[in-house]
């Protein structure tokens, strides 16, 4: 129970921090939840499937859902994972649900620095959108995870930053900053609780939103 109490305390701290950020700007408060399952096909190949839901308007309105299926290959090196995925997205825009199909390729580098675990995931995605132009997007996410594992749940704080580049407008038009904790519930099941601050640019105007996020990852 001690580990659970630590998670509750850290979650309250993250939410409190979100409240401070939210009070300082006009951005929306949202809740995002991601659940995934992965399984080994052999020593080098792994398959995975995930679902994500996003609730906006202060966490009370479902406006986004995606399903993602992919394969990851780790046979080239211990520090490199290569992935090929297909994502189907449904997003509510102007009161109507719009579909987007998004194949994407990924390369993730992993290394250690003074006991800290670092990873850098680069992603190229092709956005095939309903009633809108199609284009390529590049995303790069750098994650730094602390070496400390607190309690029996192996709670680890981490931070991450992700940039987005749209090739249709040739600009960096989105950034996401993450601060959270990961933890182990039991063998094969891990979780995360995080705060996300997103800033986005459209028509020369920047907007932001604050997100409470949860993730649950089952490995078979």
Taking only the tens place, the pLDDT of each residue in 126-152 is 999 998 999 999 999 999 999 999 999
The residues, any chain, with a CB within 8 Å of residue 207's CB and separated by 6 or more, are 26, 27, 199, 200
What pLDDT score was predicted for residue 101? 98
Question: What would you report as the CA-atom Rg of the chain, rounded to the nearest whole angstrom?
Answer: 18
If we measure between CA atoms, which residue out of 175, 210, 220, 217 comes closest to residue 192? 217
Token pair recorded at residue 115: 């006991």
Q: Which two structure tokens, joined as six digits, stand for 150? A: 């607190």
Instruction: Compute the half-sphere exposure of residue 216: CA atoms within 13 Å on the CB side of its CA.
Output: 7
Work out the mean pLDDT of the chain and round it to a whole number.
91
Band (29; pLDDT cuts 50, 70, 90): very high
Query: pLDDT (tens digit, 9 = 90+) per residue, 42-95?
Result: 999 999 999 999 999 999 999 999 999 999 999 999 999 999 999 999 999 989
Asked whether residue 16 carries a pLDDT value surpassing 70, the answer given is: no
pTM to 2 decimal places: 0.87
Alpha-carbon span 16 to 26, nearest angstrom: 17
CATH architecture, domain 2-219: Beta Barrel (2.40)
- pLDDT for position 25: 38
Contact of 155 with 2, CB cutoff 8 Å: no
Report domain extents, the chain. 2-219
Question: What is the pLDDT at residue 18?
Answer: 45
Mean pLDDT, residues 88-116 taken together: 96
Q: In which residue are the tokens 């939840």 written?
A: 33
Res. 122: pLDDT tops 60: yes
DSSP reduced 3-state for 42:
coil
Distance between CA atoms of residues 210 and 199, nearest Å: 9
**Rounded CA gap, 180 and 155, in Å?**
10
Q: Give residue 21's pLDDT band: very low, low, confident or very high (50, 70, 90).
A: very low
């Amino acid at each position: 129970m001690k580990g659970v109490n630590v998670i509750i305390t850290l979650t309250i701290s993250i939410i409190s921090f979100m409240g401070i950020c939210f009070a300082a700007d006009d951005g929306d408060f949202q809740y995002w939840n991601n659940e995934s399952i992965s399984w080994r096909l052999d020593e080098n190949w792994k398959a995975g499937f995930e679902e994500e839901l996003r609730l906006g308007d202060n966490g009370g309105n479902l406006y986004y859902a995606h399903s993602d299926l992919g394969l990851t290959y780790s046979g080239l090196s211990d520090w490199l994972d290569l992935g090929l995925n297909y994502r189907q997205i449904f997003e509510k825009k102007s009161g109507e649900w719009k579909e987007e199909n998004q194949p994407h390729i990924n390369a993730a580098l992993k290394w250690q620095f003074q006991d800290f675990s670092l990873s850098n995931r680069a992603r190229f995605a092709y956005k095939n959108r309903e009633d809108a132009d199609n284009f390529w997007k590049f995303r790069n996410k750098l994650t730094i995870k602390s070496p400390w594992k607190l309690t029996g749940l192996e709670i680890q704080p981490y931070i991450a930053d992700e940039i987005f580049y749209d090739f249709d407008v040739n600009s960096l038009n989105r950034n996401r900053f993450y601060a959270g904790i990961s933890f182990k519930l039991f063998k094969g099941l891990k979780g995360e609780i995080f705060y996300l601050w997103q800033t986005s640019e459209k028509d020369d105007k920047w907007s932001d939103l604050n997100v409470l996020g949860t993730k649950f990852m089952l490995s078979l």
